Structure 1
Amino acid sequence: MQSQQQADGELVQMFGKVIAIVLLLTLLSILGFRYFASVDKISAQGLRLDHSKLLNVLAMVKGQWLAKGRPSEMRLEWDTSGFQDSEPFIIEGENSEEHTLVKMSHGGWPLLDTADSVGCKQLWRQLLGRELVEQQVVTQLNPEGDVCSYIANNSDRLSYQLSTGRVVFLTKE
């Protein structure tokens, strides 16, 4: 009888451990799904912030273009020292880390060096001062060659029209 009670006790303990493991795995799976759902939202927020940054940078570039007498090419000199996650700003002089020569349209908007998605990536780096790889954004140039589209992994899209300087942010929400 003693061994039967001992076996029943071990069986109850084992059953309790199995239930605890199942509850723990359920809790971890719920937290995992919420985490991965938030990753898409965070990447979308990054593209949303880049939308406003791109608008501000384009306004600064157009202002510089007008001030310099409407050249066909402009050298953008970004100073990002001391500013984390903020917009770069144009400085004059030879002490900046990155000097970028950008082709300009007749309307004063930055153009691509090469008419492909690589040119769109390069234009992003020239204007915002960082690479797209960090954000998991796909770049496309439309068949007419006049709109660069930057697409996040949740299908949000930021488009820059080369001829007019228009920036459009489209989201699923």
Structure 2
Amino acid sequence: MAGQARQDFNAMLTFTRVLSVAVVFILLAVAAVSLTKDVEKFSNQAWQQQYARLVHSVNAIYSQWLIRGKPQRLTLGWQTLSLVGTRESSNLKINKLSARQDAIAETTNEIWLSNTGFPQLKAKDKSGCQRLWHDLLGQKLDENLKHELKQTRQTAITIYRQEPQRCLFQGEGGSQIIIDFSIEKLSFIEG
């Protein structure tokens, strides 16, 4: 009888341990899911910021296009635009500031424009889309994301579609920025 009680006690102890481990795994799974949602939310916010920057850039280009008499091409110098923004922020160190200015100084870009002042692709392919992003924002797409998403390993997929003609930039979280050349419109779709 004592042997049977001992076996029952050992079985109950083993069952309790297995149940405890299962509860811990369930709690870890719930934490991982909620953490993943937070990372995706952060990623979507970064994509929204990139979209806002793109809209502001296109609007500034349109204004310059009107001011300069509606040319077919417009040369952008991101050096002058950068100096205005960086002098206002006092928490940047001098060496970081000069390194950033040197990087931006290399990005003098020529934008081709439609008859209505909307930016156009130089090459109608994926590389043309990536180049347009670089020309409009003064940085490559991946550099923008690395700056916005310092702690995550966000990558972007660039897709060119011929019909209707558009560039699609998609993040891992599903967010998309679309430059539609057929209707000359920028769009953001949250993932």
> The residue matched to 2:159 in structure 1 has which SS?
strand
CA distance in 1, matches of 2:137, 2:34: 31
1:144 aligns with 2:163: yes
1:104 to 113, 124, 133: 113
Gaps of 5+ in 2: 1-7, 92-103, 146-153
CA deviation string 1:5-62 (max 9, x = no partner): xxx9999887776555444333222211211233222222222222222211111001
| Cα deviation, residue 170, structure 1 | 2.7
CA distance in 2, matches of 1:16, 1:170: 48
| Cα deviation, residue 143, structure 1 | 2.0
Question: Counterpart amino acid of 1:74?
Answer: L
Q: Could you tell me whether the CA contact under 8 Å between 1:65 and 1:74 is conserved in 2?
A: yes
1:92 is matched with none
1:49 is matched with 49
| Cα deviation, residue 119, structure 1 | 0.9
> The residue matched to 1:114 in structure 2 has which SS?
coil
CA distance in 2, matches of 1:129, 1:68: 21
Q: Could you tell me whether the CA contact under 8 Å between 1:120 and 1:148 is conserved in 2?
A: yes
| Cα deviation, residue 116, structure 1 | 0.5
CA distance in 1, matches of 2:120, 2:167: 10
Does 8-17 or 106-115 show the bigger shift?
8-17
Gaps of 5+ in 1: 1-7, 85-94
1:166 is matched with 185
CA distance in 2, matches of 1:129, 1:99: 8
CA distance in 1, matches of 2:12, 2:164: 70
Count of aligned residue pairs for this structure pair: 161
1:132 to 124, 134, 141: 141
Matches within 5 A, 1:1-173: 20-78=20-78, 79=82, 82=86, 96-133=105-142, 134=145, 135-144=154-163, 146-162=165-181, 164-171=183-190
Q: Could you tell me whether the CA contact under 8 Å between 2:164 and 2:182 is conserved in 1?
A: no
CA distance in 2, matches of 1:96, 1:154: 32
Question: Counterpart amino acid of 2:28?
Answer: L
Does 51-60 or 34-43 show the bigger shift?
34-43
CA distance in 2, matches of 1:24, 1:46: 33
**Percent identity between the two aligned chains:** 24
CA distance in 1, matches of 2:35, 2:63: 42
- TM-score when normalising by structure 2: 0.65
1:88 is matched with none
**RMSD, aligned CA:** 3.2
CA distance in 2, matches of 1:11, 1:163: 71
CA distance in 2, matches of 1:96, 1:106: 29
Question: Counterpart amino acid of 2:111?
Answer: V
CA distance in 1, matches of 2:76, 2:54: 14
Describe the shift of the 1:53–1:65 C-alpha distance in structure 2 as closer, same or farther (beyond 3 A): same
| Cα deviation, residue 106, structure 1 | 1.7
CA distance in 2, matches of 1:56, 1:74: 16
- TM-score when normalising by structure 1: 0.71
| Cα deviation, residue 171, structure 1 | 3.6
Q: Could you tell me whether the CA contact under 8 Å between 1:109 and 1:164 is conserved in 2?
A: no
